[in-house]
Amino acid sequence: MKKNNIFARIINKQIKSDILYQDDIITIFKDIFPKYPVHVLIVPNKKIKNLNAINNTNQNILNHMLIHTIKIAKKLKIHKTGYKVLINCNKGGGQEIPHLHIHLMGGVKK
């Protein structure tokens, strides 16, 4: 039987993580190795390998991810100081986990 990737296991609560938000479509949790003072991941509950797998039939999921990226940035109060949004795609793009995710990074005071 194929083993679920780490994000699928976080979404299904098979392993512990710091989940900040979850609904029927997405899960948002803290990155375990934060590169910024605030670093969270916005992940679709349904397995979508990467950005290349987005198409006309599932684009609503990407839209939902992005809307909630903005919402969580506001909730975490990094929207005024500023933040970075990143999607790595495939190995050459720095993607380590083959389950689509948005990195939301911020909290730097300048």
Active-site residues: which are they? Answer: 101
Distance, CA of 72 to CA of 55 (rounded, Å): 25
Q: Which of 1, 3, 24, 96 binds ligand AMP (CB under 6 A)?
A: 96
Q: Which of residues 56-95 bind ligand AMP (CB under 6 A)?
A: 88, 94-95
Per residue in 26-47, is it b (16+ CB within 10 Å) or e — as a string? bbbbebeeeebebbbbbbbbee
Residue 51 lies near ligand AMP (rule: CB under 6 A): no
Q: How far is the CB of 23 from ligand AMP (least distance, A)?
A: 19
Pairing relationship of beta strands 26-30 and 19-22 according to DSSP bridges: antiparallel
**Which residue has 């990094």 as its token pair?**
78
Q: How far is the CB of 2 from ligand AMP (least distance, A)?
A: 19
* Residues at the site binding ligand AMP, with contacts judged by CB under 6 A: 6, 17, 31-33, 88, 94-97
